Chains A and B, each alone.
Chain A
């Protein structure tokens, strides 16, 4: 039990510590820790958590930490996992804020941040590939995904409305 709590804390600490780019960019890392390394969730449960995070308030990393922690070890697990994911920010944010204010103009730091950008976007694309493998099982799912992408790119549709529509499409196609 205590080992499980420690494992939860360390995993979510790593997610927080190495999760550059926030939100979707952290998904690949979360998938690696939660699904691949520990098998705490299976791949479709993991996608459902992301959907849940889209439908409920708050950042997806916090939602996933709370959910996985609770499922694995009850209230204590939820607290430990959520603390794990925010702990790196507590450690880093203040010194980093000070450093950034001091070295903002220096080219080295700006270059590093510029180099991290394409890496972050490649991680988001990776998450789409990894989760797509699990979500796209037939032609209908490609149809849903394609329509959603067009709506997202060309209308200002709210993600919540998009998910409600997709749920309706799911009922229509699969029930």
Chain B
């Protein structure tokens, strides 16, 4: 009996999921992270498609993987609820609005080069963008750079990036390696003390 009901739910899901992500994709301004709270409200509170724990687990995986978080999240959530097709349609819903809006801007509105007012406005906007990026670094750093060794790693990586112009990937790999070997050092220290 319960199984049949689930099946019925699932039939509406792909279309509904597509439109949920489409709505979120069309109305959340400020990058992928801004979309997450809206998805949370729709998926957990209103439609009850996911539990809070499932939501956090999917978000955790989406954040650990490379690529835009909302891309990973929509794929994983869609897949969890309705297989590969569900994931694909959720992803399409999430990115279609920004794709179309940017296309329109690139095609029709980007001829501002000559307009002095628009240039002046963008001259003011650019420092604000830098402030947005700094505040993102501070907000993320507050959580994870508390421990001394992660803070030292951060300084080491930033110094290397600024001084030697290494490829961005190099610090990701170095960080992964450092994180991988750290437990072994800890164990050795632990056993040496005993």
Residue ranges of A at the interface with B (Cβ–Cβ < 8 Å): 16-24, 26-29, 32, 44, 47-48, 50-63, 66-67, 70-71, 75, 78, 82, 85-86, 88-90, 92-94, 96-97, 100-101, 107-108, 111-129, 131-132, 134-137, 141-142, 144-146, 148-149, 152-153, 158-160, 162-163, 165-175
- Nearest chain B residue, comparing its CB with the CB of A145: B127
For B69, list chain A residues within 8 Å (CB): 22-23, 59
Chain B hits for A127, CB < 8 A = 133
Closest CB-CB distance, A175 to chain B, in whole Å? Answer: 4
Q: How far is the CA of A128 from the CA of B29 in the complex (A)?
A: 21
- Enumerate chain B interface residues (CB-CB to A < 8 A): 25-35, 57-58, 60-72, 75-76, 79-80, 84, 87, 91, 94-95, 97-99, 101-103, 105-107, 110, 116-117, 119-138, 140-141, 144-145, 150-151, 153-154, 157-158, 161-162, 167-169, 171-172, 174-180, 182-183
Contact (Cβ within 8 A) B168 A29 = yes
C-alpha spacing A28/B84, complex, angstroms: 31
Sampled A-B contacts (16; CB under 8 Å): A24-B132, A58-B32, A92-B67, A93-B61, A94-B75, A94-B79, A115-B175, A115-B178, A126-B168, A136-B127, A158-B30, A166-B124, A166-B128, A167-B122, A171-B120, A173-B120
- 8 new A-B contacts, CB < 8 A, other than A113-B179, A146-B131, are A19-B68, A54-B31, A57-B27, A58-B32, A93-B87, A94-B87, A145-B128, A166-B124
Closest 3 CB pairs of A and B: A170-B124, A115-B179, A58-B98
Provide the bound-state CA to CA distance between A171 and B154, in Å: 37
Closest to A54 in B: B30
* Nearest-neighbor residue (CB-CB) of B153 within chain A: A118
Please name the residue on chain A nearest to B162 by beta carbon: A129
Whether B72 pairs with A93 at a CB distance below 8 angstroms is: yes
In the docked arrangement, what's the CA distance between A19 and B70, Å?
Answer: 13
At the interface, is chain B mostly helix, strand, loop or mixed? helix
Nearest Cβ on chain A to B64's Cβ, whole angstroms: 5
Of A16, A71, A118, A158, which one neighbours B66 at CB under 8 angstroms? A16
Question: Does A128 contact B130, Cβ atoms closer than 8 Å?
Answer: yes
Question: Once the chains bind, are B106 and A169 in contact (CB under 8 Å)?
Answer: no
A4 to chain B, nearest CB (A): 16
How near does chain B come to A162, taking the closest CB pair, in angstroms?
6
Residues of A within 8 A of B110 (CB): 71
In Å, the complex CA distance between A150 and B122 comes to: 20
Q: Which one, A28, A62, A123, contacts B95 given CB within 8 A?
A: A62
Name the CB-closest residue of B to A116. Answer: B175
* In the complex with contacts A24-B133, A57-B27, A107-B183, A67-B102 CB distance below 8 A: yes
Whether B117 and A89, one on each chain, are in contact in the complex, defined by CB atoms closer than 8 angstroms, is no
Q: A67-B105, A78-B99, A123-B168 are in contact. Are A89 and B158 (CB under 8 A)?
A: no
Inter-chain contact B144/A57, CB cutoff 8 Å: no
Tell me whether B171 and A123 are in contact (CB under 8 A): yes
